Amino acid sequence: MAGTMISDRLDPLCIQPVLAVELDPGGAGWCVSIQNLCPAFVAHLGGQVASLLRVKVAEAGGPDDDLPEVSGDYDIRGDEVRFIPHFAFDSGVLFRAILDLRPLGLPVPTEFQALEFSFSRDTGTAETKVCHVFPSSDLLPANLLRFCVRFSGPMKRGRAQDNIQILGSDGEPIPDALYRAPVELWDRSMTCLTILLDPGRLKRGVGPNRMLGPPLKVGQQYTLAIGTGMIDVQGRPLRDPFNKSFSVSEAIRATLAIEHWKISRPVAGSHDSLELTFPRPLDWAQLWRAITVASESGQPLGGSIDISVGETCWRFTPDEPWQARAHRVRVAPGLEDVCGNTSSGPFDGPLRSADEVALETAIRTIPFVVKACAPTVVPAVGK
């Protein structure tokens, strides 16, 4: 049994779980976490986490087994497990987080915990605002694929079409510049909205491109305008309208060349950041999840990520000091630059062969060795 194997390998005294509600450091909003666990125990949980930690809507009443469950994902790293809901926790609703370690058969100090929590409808008096828009540069390529808008608090769906538009230098909306998705493209926290420019106008040779041309023209000035009609989960409009002005440079239609990235290697025994530098900006939202650091055997390393202004630099700071050994950077398939170009081809390139398509599902790796010496900057070699 899985519980017996865990108890054979671990000291129960290292398993003293504490349930908490906290903001996810990765930007996914409020989550439920199991804290105060030893990394060895967390590593052994694996697929059992979903049966040990459940989050339910307590307002429904009745025993725990009859309460409706909240859907979400489990993020396991270091000495902590997080439950991140697929949709932000509603204000004014009572929730119950239930942690039950009894199926593991461990003589731990606390085998069962329940934590009830809610978010007041009056929580936070500050009005919601637009915090950032990515890409952050004010010079953007003519075939830009998307914007990512970050709000200071969770928002409601259904307002983007009437309140977000691209204006020309004369202040008038550019017709049909944006793609109006049937469902707005929000992240789980409802604080990050992806806005696509019309892909049909970006892809050369297809109908909308032939009839209307690209939505942005080289050398022109534009403004991404976000109106106060966008409302947050409490029904309040944005505090202020938000405008991002930008000019347009030549289109970028080159394959994403990972072999041209540069890597700054840290020193063994330190918490120095591993730094990747890119020749051109990459997609901000994907950078948070598409690049990871692992040992040579493939075991992921826990740590924090930072992305520089301009989205041309990615930094990873480990939870534990670097060890003098071989490591690897893992790059997920499909990582894109701001124009949608990937390592397997440009966004509007010709149809690819079966072998080229297969590359789209392959994880790329950048090997590097941490040594007990000063950091150096060398070209990264992907394979």
pLDDT in tens, the chain (383 residues): 344 444 444 455 456 778 888 877 666 678 898 877 777 777 767 667 788 889 998 865 656 566 789 988 888 776 778 898 888 788 778 899 998 888 777 665 566 888 898 877 654 557 899 999 999 999 999 999 999 999 998 888 889 999 999 999 999 999 999 998 888 999 877 889 999 999 888 888 777 778 888 899 999 999 999 999 999 877 789 999 999 999 999 999 999 999 999 999 899 999 999 999 999 999 999 999 899 999 988 889 999 999 987 999 999 999 999 999 999 999 998 899 999 999 888 888 766 666 665 666 678 899 999 987 655 566 666 55
- CA distances to 30, 97, 183, 191, 285 from 194, rounded to whole Å, are 20, 31, 11, 10, 9
What is the distance between the alpha carbons of residues 255 and 246, in angstroms, rounded to a whole number? 24
DSSP letters spanning 103-155? GGT---S--EEEEEE---TT---SPP-EEEEES--SEEETT--EEEEEESS-B
Rounded Cα distance, 164 and 180, in Å? 10
pLDDT of residue 351: 64
SS3 41: helix
The DSSP secondary-structure symbol of 94 reads -
The per-residue pLDDT for 349 is 72
| Contact by Cβ (8 Å): 1, 39 | no
Cα gap 195→207, rounded to integer Å = 21
Residue pointed to by tokens 């010496």? 373
Q: Which domains does the chain have, with CATH numbers?
A: 2-117 (2.60.40), 130-249 (2.60.40.1220), 258-379 (2.60.40.1220)
Q: pLDDT value at position 156?
A: 85
**What's the chain's length in residues?**
383
Instruction: Give the pLDDT score at 205.
Output: 73
